[in-house]
Amino acid sequence: MVILRPSLSRKTFGWSLLTIGALGLVLPFLQGFLFLAMGVFVLRDQHIWAARRWGWVAGRWPQQVTRIEEMEASLGRRLAGARERVWRLFSRP
């Protein structure tokens, strides 16, 4: 079961990556596949089709997907901690 968490900023960023990836398939100086993969990664919580594609990638390369998702979780924790420290810094009287 896929749990969708809609976010306009993630959709915009993901579709931008997919657009750059499509251009990269034609232009020789861009890595199209890399941008397409990043776009699907960003959109996996936004659209069911992206979640299905990400499931295929996870089945094909499980160790790499696990490492990527761990890095994303670590980054989220770090950003949450930084946000909390900034909030405490500016909320003091």
User: pLDDT at position 18, please?
Assistant: 93
Decide which of 53 and 2 is more confident. 53
Residue that the structure tokens 């990527």 belong to: 68
Nearest 5 degrees, angle CA 30-CA 55-CA 2? 120
What would the pLDDT profile of 21-80 be if each residue is shown by its tens digit?
999 989 888 888 889 888 998 898 888 888 888 888 889 989 988 998 899 899 989 999
Report the C-alpha gap between 66 and 33 in whole angstroms: 19
Checking if the pLDDT of 2 tops 80, the result is no
Report the C-alpha gap between 49 and 78 in whole angstroms: 29
Query: With bands split at pLDDT 50, 70 and 90, how would you rate the model's confidence at 7?
Result: confident
pTM above 0.95, yes or no: no
Report the C-alpha gap between 36 and 76 in whole angstroms: 22
